[in-house]
């Protein structure tokens, strides 16, 4: 009889250990999914060929969304890259992007920030 209780206890322990491993794997996949989703959305928000008039108008929404993504993602490198991209759109609101020289410099910085995000998202 005692052997039966021990076997049942051992089985329960093994099942619980297996459950924690499954939970850990699910948490890892969930974190990865969040990272992938955040990266995909942020890349979709990027302006590679911006219209100066529309760029300023949409910048505030992009700042808000990029910061929201950064706040919700677990990966610290992705978080940093998203906040950096958001800062780039804050710059747009302050600069005279109607000037092609200023716009060109902003595009270059934005592409560099986007490349950094791409690297941490891989």
Q: Please tell me the pTM assigned to this model.
A: 0.69
Does residue 17 sit within a domain? Answer: no
Question: What's the total number of domains in the chain?
Answer: 1
Instruction: Say if 10 falls within a structural domain.
Output: no
Residue 98: what pLDDT? 80
Q: Can you give 62-108 as a three-state secondary structure string?
A: HHHHHHHHHHHCCCHHHHHHHHHHHHHHHHHHHCCCCCHHHHHHHHH
State the Cα–Cα distance between residues 26 and 70, nearest whole angstrom: 21
Domain boundaries, position 47: 31-121
Mean pLDDT by 10 residues, the chain (122 residues): 51 49 46 76 86 86 94 94 94 84 88 93 89
pLDDT, residue 87, reads 94
């Amino acid at each position: 009889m005692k052997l039966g209780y021990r076997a049942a206890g051992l089985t329960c322990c093994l099942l619980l250990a297996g459950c924690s491993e499954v939970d850990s794997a699910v948490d890892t996949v969930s974190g990865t999914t969040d990272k992938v989703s955040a990266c995909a959305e942020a890349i979709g928000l990027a302006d590679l060929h911006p219209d100066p008039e529309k760029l300023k108008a949409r910048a505030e929404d992009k700042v808000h969304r990029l910061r929201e993504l950064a706040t919700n993602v677990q990966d610290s490198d992705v978080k940093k890259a998203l906040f950096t991209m958001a800062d780039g759109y804050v710059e747009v609101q302050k600069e005279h992007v109607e000037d092609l020289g200023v716009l060109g410099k902003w595009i270059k910085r934005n592409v560099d920030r986007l490349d950094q995000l791409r690297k941490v998202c891989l």
